[in-house]
Structure formats: C-alpha cells, structure tokens
Amino acid sequence: MGNILDRPIEFIKGIGPHRGKLMTEELGFRTAEDLIFSYPFRYVDKTNFSNISDIGREGEYVLLKAKLTSIKEIKGQRQKRLVAIAKDKTGYIELVWFKGVSWVVKMLVPDAEFSIYGRLTVFKGKKTISHPEMEMITGNNSAGLPTLDPVYSSTEKLTKIGIDSKARKRIIRTILSELRASEIPENLPSYITSRMGLLPRYEALIKIHAPKSMDEVNESIQRLKFNEIFFFQLSMLYSKHKRKLKFRGPIFDKIGDNFTNFYNTKLPFELTNAQKRVIKEIRADLGSKYQMNRMLQGDVGSGKTMVALLCMLIALDNGYQAVMLAPTQILAQQHFTSLKEYLEGTGIRVGFLTGAVKGKERKIVLDYLKNGELQIIVGTHALMEDSVVFKSLGLAVIDEQHRFGVVQRSKLWTKNPELIPHILVMTATPIPRTLAMTVYGDLDVSVIDELPPGRKPVKTVHMYESKRYQLIEFMREEIKKGRQIYVVYPLIEESETLDLQNLQQGYEQWRDIFKPPEFQISVVHGRMKAAEKDMEMKRFVDKVTQIMVATTVIEVGVNVPNASVMVIENTERFGLSQLHQLRGRVGRGAEQSFCILMSGVKISNVGKERIQTMVGTTDGFKIAEADLRLRGPGDIMGTQQSGIARFELLSLVEDKNLVSTARNIARQILDNDPLLEHPQNEILHKALADYFRKNKDWARIS
C-alpha cells in the first residue's frame, strides 16, 4: 500500500491533476504529508444546535439540525439557483445556492437529516441561509460529527476551483481515515513527552484536525509547537557540536606586542566593563582549538568596533591576517578611516577594498594581501570575490551581518585552505533573546550592554506638522551653538520615485528656510553615484554644511560627533528598529542630542505605538522586543536572512518560555550525548536525520 503521506496530492480523492497543480503553485503542497502538516487557523464552535423558531437576528451565524423536505432547481433569467426547504420540530427555513448548483444538488438527499451552518438573512419574516455548510447526519444521532469545525486558509484562485476551507476539511478527513499510527512515528523520547506532559504525535495530529473540544485543540497545539521549536533548536545545537568537532580554527594562544602596546599606549578611552567581559569571552574562543562563530550584539555607540580591533590585534600577534566586512561602501570607508587613525604609528598596515577600487590600485592591494604585507583589510562584498587571496586569514569580522546573505558569508570559509577562519559577526540591531537563540542558535552570543561613560541619552520628541515653525526655530538655535543636523526622509522601494520627489522637494524647502551663504545643506540618497555621495558626506563631516538632508542611506555608517539633532520626516513610515538605528546617528559627542519625530495627524495604531515606544525608551532591547511584537521576526531580520525558520504554530513573541524550555532541553541532551549515540536517544537521532533531509542545513555557517 505504501505510506499515504508520500502520495502526490493529485492522486488524493477530491483533488486531481488540475487542482493539485494549483495547490502546489499557491500553497506549496506536493504530498498528503504537506496537507496534514498544515493546520487550521481557527475553529467554529458547532457544539450547540439551535431551534429554527429561536433564531431571527439578521446576520447571525446559526447551527441547525433539520430534515430536507424539498429540493428544487429554479431557472432565472441569467442563471439557475437551487432552493431547499429544511424543517425541524419548531419550524422551516429556506436554503439557497446561486453557485455550484450542479455539484451541490448531488449531495442533498430528500428527507435526510443534515447539520446546517451559515449566516442568517431575514426578509419580511422569512428566514434564509445562502450557501450554507451542509453535512449529512447518519444514524439516529450526531455523535459522529466533530463538535469543532476547523477553518483552513485558501486563496482566491483555489476557492474559484472549489478548494476552499470546506473542501480542505473533506480532503484532510479522507487522508486521516486512511492514516495509520505507524505512519506518524513518535519522534520524541518518552522522557521528554513525560516531562512536558505532551500528547503522542499521532494523537496530536488527529486532534488538531478533528477535535471534540478546545482542550483537545490546545493540547495538540502545545505538542506540535514543541516539535517545531525543539527540532529547530536541536538541529542548530547539534550542527554547532559537529562543527566544533570537525572544523579546526587557528589557535591564538598568545597575547603579543600588537595587542599589549596598543592597549597600554594607544587606547583612546577606558574600556567599559561590558567591553572587557566580551573581549574575555572572545579570547577564550580564539585560544581554543575550535573555530569561533560568535555574534557581538551592542547598541549603537557601545564600542563594538574597538572590541573588534583588539580581537584583530590578537590575530596579528599569532601570525594571522584579519578582515573587516561592511555592507556598504560608506560604512566600510568609515571603519577603514577609524582603524587607520587608531593604529597610526604602530606600523600595522591596513588596506581597503570595495568594488570602486580598480586598476593599478586594486592590483597593489591584492598583491600586498597575498604576500602578507597587509595585515588588516577593510571592505565590502568585493572581499569575497575569488580574486581576493590571503596569505593567512585568521579572523573575519562582519559588521551589520544580517545584510549579508548566508551564501555570501560562507565564502569566507574558503579564504584559508588550511584552517577555517574565526568568525565574529556584529550587529547594532538589538535582537530579543528569544529571536537571537532561534535565528542565531548556532552562534555563541556576546552582548555589550552598557554605553561608554559621559554619553547623554538622546532626548526624543514627537511633533505634528502643525509644530513645524517651532522645529525650525529650534534648529536655528542648535546651528548657532555650532551643532549640525540630519533631516531624514523615508525611501521605500515600492514608491521610490515618489520618495525621491519628496526628498528633493524637502531639500528645496529647507534651502528656502536656511538660505546660503549663511547656511549650507548636503543632500544624500541611494541613487547618487558613490563619488557624489562621498563628497556630500565629507562636506558634512568637515562641517562645511550644517544640515544633511538624506534618506536612510545614513542609517549606518556616518559618525559625526558634532551632529546633535536628528529630524525624521514621515516617522509613521519607518519601522521601530530603523528609527532606533537613525537615532543612533546622534548622541555621539558630549553634548545633549535630540531626535525629533515628525508626522501628520493621521497615524495608524501601530504607528502610534512605535512613536510612543521611541519617546519612552532608548533601550535597544526594549525597542527590539516591541518591534518583534509589532512586525514579526522576518521583517526585523530582513528578507536576506535565510536562517530564520517559518513556524506553522509557534509565535516567537507569545511562546518565549517554550522557546527557552526547548533550547534548554536540547542543550542538556547534547551536553550528555553530543552525537545522540545513547540508546535512549536513538529515536532523536533518526528524527533529526529526517529533519535535516527536509530542511537545508545552513546551520554550520554563521
């Protein structure tokens, strides 16, 4: 007979080739297994039948048990309709179908008793239900009917060909009627199901599709949710264990002159305790025989770059080169400039390579890198090209790492043919703990959770358009004090042309208000050529211009301590994480800085909550938690982040405790049995192999 789960959907009763092809295109379903592991999104309570005489409120949904007394097809001018009369012991009701008459009439049996569900219409005392859901009751009672009716998602195209929620329900019942318990083998050991009080897997699957009560629904969901997150966490941690055993990293076992001299004589400021703690964590990794894959989280301005530099100096002390990757030319240029300034007089050579470095200059950089004369190189994606060859790459630092695709990052592994370089990925986007342990479950995480002393929190204010005059006066006062100002406009790809018009109009309006020669204004956006952009940035950095009008191109990469005001136009069009990043562009000097959130009067509830969150806190992790709640994990991490799992039932916001519990259980198991070789874990080893077959494993790459 074979396993029904492997059956292609076109061979399942009620589907066929045409419907099967469309179900694959619309929902990605290819087999019966895909269908039954896609769950209802809600349930309609059908536990109580009403009497026909007791119903009568227009628009209410009613559940009736009644016999069909007549069935008629009535021809109209344009189309025929089907009319049936149903009666119970208290009265009569009319049932009407305008569509699908030919196949509905086949399922209606005169004098048979049906369960009838639908929306009531009442006209001149006459009760009618159009297109009711009908189910024939066999025998003398309705005990065979499920008491809760599952509702499944569909699409417009599928509904048109008859694959709506009701059809999905029928198809799934067909599959379940043939499904044997042996075809849904248990994939959790009894010591986990007992500890967590979980239903058997087969039982959970049956009950989520055909429950008799909400308690059964909730028990099923809990088991299936746990499966989703537990196997995701187990796969990440298992891959991490295997990677550590399989891939050796260079051993940085000494701290030499490069680190010591810089730390003692060149360090521009006292490190915070958080920075010192993080460096110790990284040093421990670098000194082990294992290849490091660590994420460094820290809010804007927390000093991640200095931590990265000190780690790169450890690499140099052990005879290796280091690379720092940034997602944009602007950010790469800034890192290069900062590192050059920090390392001036040390004799350490720092190189720079982006797509804009060409010809003779590029050849010199590549030659120096290959023969080891360049010890540190900073650049963009260009560093991942095959033509870039290192003498001995030991450490790769990736900044704003979620902007690099997984495949791109994996290329770094090939840059040292003998040993896998250590990887330190950095992000200024605070990531809630639940999300970090899910998306980056295979990485060790270090957090810089304090800002350098002397930094004043940025004051954030929300202003409506009606307060524009007060804003202008405030900007004049700040410029008089010698400060500089950012004015940022949204740039969303779908309306890029419109946004650029807004930015251009805004730029012209600001020029009318802040007229030259007394005031100078820079303008920067993503459509400009790199040279133009760099020139405008430089004018602002050199204090030639007092105001920079820009798009979110300055979200990362511009460090101007003298800039003390960030004005964000159309605030309601930005996400929370993006607003927080933009606010981080100011507050980098000793002076009090300000972030002004401008908006129109009409703001959605989500927009209002974003603004209230920004005004209420500067804590990046609180903001990230709110962003996760409002937008979901996929949006926060960006579309390139292919490491993020798509869970059917689990919510990373609402199920934080379950995520932590599943991770702790997975960790405890692997601490005691790293390769799942114990007899009690045989079931897990088999289930995990199956999981890896179905989910492409990128877990070994940071």
Give me the chain's average pLDDT, please: 86
* Sheet of strand 547-550: strand arrangement: 459-464, 594-599, 563-568, 484-488, 547-550, 521-524
Q: What is the three-class DSSP state of 64?
A: strand
Domains contained in the chain, CATH given: 47-145 (2.40.50.140), 257-288+303-427 (3.40.50.300), 459-617 (3.40.50.300)
**What per-residue confidence (pLDDT) applies to 402?**
56
Q: CB atoms < 10 A from the CB of 112, how many?
A: 12
**What per-residue confidence (pLDDT) applies to 433?**
67
Encoded tokens for 211: 């429950």
- Looking at residues 634-643, what average pLDDT do you find? 43
**What per-residue confidence (pLDDT) applies to 494?**
45
Confidence of residue 557 (pLDDT cuts 50, 70, 90): low
Query: pLDDT tens for residues 597-625?
Result: 999 888 888 888 899 999 998 888 788 77
**What per-residue confidence (pLDDT) applies to 648?**
87
Among residues 541, 585, 579, 543, the alpha carbon closest in space to that of 564 is found at 585
**What per-residue confidence (pLDDT) applies to 666?**
94
Write the secondary structure of 268-295 as one string of H (helix), E (strand) and C (coil).
Answer: CCCCCHHHHHHHHHHHHHHHCCECCEEE
Residue 106 has pLDDT above 90, yes or no: no
**What per-residue confidence (pLDDT) applies to 702?**
40
Note the pTM of the prediction, 2 decimals: 0.70
* Stretch among 109-113, 212-216, 600-604 having the lowest mean pLDDT: 600-604
Confidence of residue 72 (pLDDT cuts 50, 70, 90): very high
**What per-residue confidence (pLDDT) applies to 685?**
95
Confidence of residue 477 (pLDDT cuts 50, 70, 90): very high
Would you say 117 and 44 are in contact if contact means Cβ atoms under 8 Å apart?
yes
Return the H-helix or E-strand segment holding 650. Answer: none
Residue 639 has pLDDT above 70, yes or no: no
Would you say 296 and 356 are in contact if contact means Cβ atoms under 8 Å apart?
no
The rounded distance, in Å, linking the Cα atoms of 63 and 167 is 19
- Looking at residues 124-133, what average pLDDT do you find? 90
**What per-residue confidence (pLDDT) applies to 31?**
93
- Looking at residues 100-105, what average pLDDT do you find? 84
More confident residue, 428 or 312: 312
Q: What percent of the chain has pLDDT over 90?
A: 49
- Residue 580 sits at the vertex; the CA angle it makes with 575 and 581, to the nearest 5 degrees, is 100
Confidence of residue 30 (pLDDT cuts 50, 70, 90): very high
Query: pLDDT tens for residues 259-295?
Result: 999 999 989 888 999 999 999 999 999 999 888 989 8
**What per-residue confidence (pLDDT) applies to 573?**
85
Task: Specify burial of residue 94 (Cβ count, 10 A radius: 0-12, 13-18, 19+).
Answer: middle
* Stretch among 27-31, 114-118, 530-534, 556-560 having the lowest mean pLDDT: 556-560
Residue 47 has pLDDT above 90, yes or no: no
**What per-residue confidence (pLDDT) applies to 495?**
57
Task: Specify which of 235-249, 510-524, 569-583 reaches the highest per-range mean pLDDT.
Answer: 510-524
- Looking at residues 201-224, what average pLDDT do you find? 94
